[in-house]
Amino acid sequence: MYVFDTLTHRLKRGCETMAYPHGPAPALPDRHGGALRVDAAKCADGCTACVPVCPTEAITHPPGQPMALDLGRCIFCSACVEICPVKAITHTDDHRMAVRSRADLVLGAPGAEELRLASALDEKLRRLFGRSLRLRQVSAGGCAACEADVNVLGTIGWDLGRFGIQFVASPRHADGLLITGPVTKSMELALMKGWNAVPEPKIVIAVGACAIAGGPFVGHPEVLNGAEALLPVDLFIPGCPPHPLTILDGLLRLLDRLDGEKSSTS
């Protein structure tokens, strides 16, 4: 009887997995704001109002040079957006933020007002990982925020497994590491052991401001300011924490799995 009731209930509910990427992406919550855009040409001469309010020193404006915003260090607190008198820094409400190169996260230079989104892995790696990608998630001193949003991808609404992407319990069964947290010194050995246990070829994905550049802990003597201090990173997904949609978008770009949009375009 209980089994019949359960089956009836599921049939009434229907499919609850979102249509994305075969349909429109779900809207971001109002408080999220999405990626930032920088129009350094709007900056008034000598204005540095945004520099001191940034808690992670993600914004620089040296004399005679354009203002630059490092989204890898940004924790998306919106303090710079609120204080800028000329609105040179604005939210875009765009969930797409993953990039392949650390340098692509620095905005402000001519031609770098918006992100250059991630391109796909090369053809050889796409043949290996495109249909089945297994990742070992390593929390290298994280606060559990990025970890929680990574876990959301395994729920019924997101169903990461439908793309052939799964998280595994052992690095020996993995194709790469997905790293969160600033990489504390106490996690350095564990991270390197996990990396060495992953068979070649292998990839590294840094999720969140901490894993990219140390986040709010940047410069602390007990952290290494991100995964790149130890390992070659193939994909950077900024945010504090990044929205699950941002993480999923980055993973699908890496595998060239976005319908109607090639990952090499921005």
List residues bridging with 236 in a β-sheet: 99, 206
pLDDT tens digit at each of 266 positions of the chain: 677 777 777 677 777 788 899 888 888 888 888 999 999 888 877 788 999 999 999 999 888 888 899 999 999 999 999 999 999 999 999 999 999 999 999 998 777 878 899 999 999 999 999 889 999 999 999 999 999 999 999 998 999 999 999 999 999 999 999 999 999 999 999 999 999 999 999 999 999 999 999 999 999 999 999 999 999 999 999 999 999 999 999 999 999 998 655 544 43
Can you give the pTM of this predicted structure? 0.91
Which amino acid is residue 7, in one-letter code?
Answer: L
Enumerate the domain spans of the chain: 123-254
- The answer as to CATH 3.40.50.12280 being correct for domain 123-254 is yes
Parallel/antiparallel/unpaired status of strands 176-180 and 165-167 = unpaired
- Three-state secondary-structure class, residue 145: helix
List residues bridging with 166 in a β-sheet: 134
Rounded to whole angstroms, the Cα distance separating 203 from 168 reads 14
